Amino acid sequence: MKASIRAISLILLLVSPLGEARVIPDTTQSPAPGNEGERAPLSQAGYSSAVNYQLQCLGCHLTNGEGSPRNGIPQMAGFVGNFLKVDGGRAFLVRVPGASQSALNNQQLADLLNWMLRDEGIAGGSAPEHFRPYTGEEVATYRKNRIKDLPEFRQGLIDQMKAMGIQIPKGAMPPP
């Protein structure tokens, strides 16, 4: 019995390189038409905010900003706009590491946040009416400074919201 397993393994070992040949990259293969150039870094790629979100944020925040509160990713859907209503919140949205340390340039990050904060977007009407859109220059100034104690700082913003009577959904308060 053992011997036959060994024999089968040997056969599998011998045939597997052929079986996998299709997935081994062919270094002599030419790129698909239109794809010949070197790939531009994301900061120069010119993708839409929706695509930039998919590439840089969706992995944690999920498709509609629902996040994964059980894993410490707060829900942004229908809530994130409230940060614009409190002192320090406007800079906070830029300074969170996921945003500030992304591969996006300042203008792309400004555009992405504005896209998220639209009523039809992830913010879902939680942003103040006629909020002033972020500009690339504004993002640049916030981005330079890191938040020292992020959980405590964030809690301070949430406390300000509570004092204003803003409802805090459970998903916006992930366990520490």
Phi, psi of 73 (to 5 degrees): -100, 110
**DSSP helix/strand/coil, 147:** coil
* Residue found by looking up tokens 């803003």 in the block: 166
Q: How many angstroms separate the CA atoms of 66 and 56, rounded? A: 15
Phi, psi of 121 (to 5 degrees): -95, -160
Told to check if 99 binds ligand HEC by CB under 6 A, we report: yes
Taking CB atoms, the residue at the shortest distance from ligand HEC is 98
Nearer to ligand HEC, 37 or 176 (CB): 176
Told to check if 106 binds ligand HEC by CB under 6 A, we report: no
Told to check if 127 binds ligand HEC by CB under 6 A, we report: no
Nearer to ligand HEC, 15 or 51 (CB): 51
Of the candidate residues 77, 121, 154, 161, the single one contacting ligand HEC (CB under 6 A):
154
Find all residues with CB under 8 Å of 66, minimum gap 6, and list them.
Answer: 75, 76, 77, 171
Q: How many residues bind ligand HEC (CB under 6 A)?
A: 21
Nearer to ligand HEC, 6 or 164 (CB): 164
Cβ atoms of residues 79 and 169 within 8 Å? yes
Cβ burial, residue 68 (10 Å; 0-12/13-18/19+): middle
Told to check if 73 binds ligand HEC by CB under 6 A, we report: yes
Which DSSP letter does residue 83 get?
G
Of the candidate residues 49, 102, 106, 126, the single one contacting ligand HEC (CB under 6 A):
102
Contact residues for ligand HEC, defined by CB under 6 A: 56-57, 59-61, 72-74, 76, 80, 93, 96-99, 102, 104, 112, 150, 154, 172
